[in-house]
Amino acid sequence: MNNRRTPGARPKEYSEEIIREIIYRYRQQVQPTGRIPNEKVYKFAKNLVNSEIHDTNDILNNLDKKYGSEDFWRKNNKKTGKPNLGKKLVDEANELKNYYIKDSVNNTTKIPSVEDAVYKLNDKEDLIEALKPLEDLCIKLAEKEVKLSEEIDKLKEKLTYHKNKSERQEDAIFKLARYGRTNKGLVNNILNTGSSKSKLVSEALESIFINPMEFLYDNKKTDNEIEEPSTVVDFSERKKAITETYSL
């Protein structure tokens, strides 16, 4: 007894290029805008199969009958459950194009293609739903721009303040240095013992640091403050640096 099983029919092979050309011509000749109905593109493909194309160089010349199958354009594959290639490519053609951008912290935002939405969607509700994320994104970016502008203005104010403070400090240091050249003994005494101060030196020191005690010992820092890189320099080191610079 022969138990050999006869091989089944070979699976049909389809050209994705031909399928896309059929969909393209449907767009050009039948329906320029809106979603492509599977039933209509199937009927269009069936007519192409039955029609005679005189241009031998046309990719759709002598189109195989398998491209005119209703199941191919409208249904899923019985074995795999996935859409047949014709249906799949029609579904892809109906999908709206989107652009994806990443912000500075790698969050991805989807931006719909306005042109694609207008040409593919006929229903107003579908169009609103498709373009709503774009409206939300514009509002979000506008609010962010206002917030960033306010932060920039605050930073500019801080920059101006510190620039002016730096200029005052620099001027005070030069005044102190010039005074020290003619009063070495007095300045040397201040740097080493702090036991005496003239009015001029006192004002120069106070000009360098608006609050000398806060600068030297960081008295006003609280637990709630964000700790920044320390600008406090050991007083003995500062005295030594000034002493060596001006040979006091």
User: Distance between CA atoms of 203 and 42, rounded to whole angstroms?
Assistant: 93
Look up the pTM and report it: 0.53
The predicted pLDDT at position 229 comes to: 44
| Total residue length of the chain | 248
Task: Please determine, for residue 68, whether its predicted confidence score (pLDDT) is greater than 90.
Answer: yes
The predicted pLDDT at position 204 comes to: 54
Task: Please determine, for residue 61, whether its predicted confidence score (pLDDT) is greater than 80.
Answer: yes
180: burial class by Cβ within 10 Å (0-12, 13-18, 19+)? Answer: buried
Categorize the per-residue pLDDT at 147 as very low, low, confident or very high, splitting at 50, 70 and 90.
Answer: very high
Report the Cα 191 to chain-centroid distance in Å.
54
The predicted pLDDT at position 170 comes to: 82
Segment 145-166 shows an average pLDDT of: 92
Q: Give per-residue pLDDT as tens, 169-201.
A: 888 777 766 766 666 555 555 555 444 555 555
**32 touches 25 (CB < 8 A):** no
Q: Give per-residue pLDDT as tens, 19-34.
A: 999 999 999 999 988 8
The predicted pLDDT at position 218 comes to: 46
The predicted pLDDT at position 143 comes to: 92
